[in-house]
Structure 1
Amino acid sequence: MNPTRDSEAQVRRLFANDRLAKHLGITLVEAGPGRAVTRLTVAENHLNIYSGGHGGTLFAMADATFGLACNSRAHVSIAISAHIAFVKGVQVGDVLTARATEQARTRRAGTYLVEIRRADDALVATFTGVAHVSDKAIEI
């Protein structure tokens, strides 16, 4: 048994059910216990009224990546708190990578940090999320 490989397979199965991520064009790059990486190329439908990257798109990307990281272990985890700080703008064509990492996890809660970066490694946004860890096993 390889926990990293098993975790990635579980996350890939969960990601296949994320309809919003699919709709936005978010792809899963990799995952493992307590972590996930996604990617998105900014398109016209990701823009706000000023033709810059929409904060809702960035939040959705970070939230999806957080959800994958916190559900990369044995029990269903549900977000109970999230915060995002927008650092730099994005434009059509920018390739964004979101990297979620587990900062702490107990039997009942997990805390995660998500950084979204452009291809030039510029930090676009930071997101922190807290998830409730349930007793329910992930079944997929």
Structure 2
Amino acid sequence: MLLQRDAFSRLLGMEVLEASPGHAVVRMTVRDDMVNGFGTLHGGALFSLADSAFAFATNAGGTLSVAIDTTLSIPAASYPGDVLTATAESRSSTNRLEFVDVTVRKHDGSAVGYFRGTVYRTHRSHNPD
């Protein structure tokens, strides 16, 4: 599984709940060492969670897909102890491009992040032989 080779996602304590081509669900608990100077989750940590869900969804089929464009909107803050779940869903796919939306929600169901990304599909396997 890709998570075994993804040291950064493991460092942040991410857990892949589901991963299939075009779909992934990834969970992470906000820790004290992930907050900014205001005591809320650092935007980079939130981006990393959404980006990892995006990567697991677009690479689940074994074909190396790399991000070429991403954006993140943050409608609400997250705090230490919050359990966040990022759900990635493919919206459109061509031979070389895939467009994916990721919504990050707190354990109470409220949205804390909206991520959109585009990958370029290389047609090369990322599985080690």
TM-score, with structure 1 as normaliser: 0.88
For residue 73 of structure 2, the aligned residue among 70, 81, 85 is 85
For 1:75 and 1:93, locate their aligned partners in 2 and report how far apart those are by CA, in whole Å.
35
Quick check: 1:115 aligned with 2:106? Answer: no
Quick check: 1:38 aligned with 2:26? Answer: yes
- The amino acid of 2:17's aligned partner reads V
For 1:72 and 1:135, locate their aligned partners in 2 and report how far apart those are by CA, in whole Å.
13
Displacement of 1:139 in angstroms is 2.1
SS of alignment partner, residue 63 of structure 1? helix
Displacement of 1:137 in angstroms is 2.4
| Equivalent in the alignment of 1:129 | 117
| Equivalent in the alignment of 1:53 | 41
Structure that is richer in helix per residue = 1
Q: Is there any run of 5+ residues in structure 2 with no aligned partner, and where? A: none
For residue 28 of structure 1, the aligned residue among 16, 29, 38 is 16
SS of alignment partner, residue 80 of structure 2? coil
SS of alignment partner, residue 40 of structure 2? coil
Cα pair distance change 1:106/1:74, threshold 3 Å: farther
Displacement of 1:72 in angstroms is 1.4
For 1:65 and 1:111, locate their aligned partners in 2 and report how far apart those are by CA, in whole Å.
13
Residue identity over aligned pairs, in percent, reads 33
Over aligned residue pairs, what C-alpha RMSD do you find? 0.9
Displacement of 1:51 in angstroms is 0.7
Displacement of 1:138 in angstroms is 3.2
Report how many aligned residue pairs link the two structures.
128
Displacement of 1:113 in angstroms is 0.4
Displacement of 1:74 in angstroms is 4.1
For 1:89 and 1:74, locate their aligned partners in 2 and report how far apart those are by CA, in whole Å.
34
For 2:33 and 2:19, locate their aligned partners in 1 and report how far apart those are by CA, in whole Å.
27
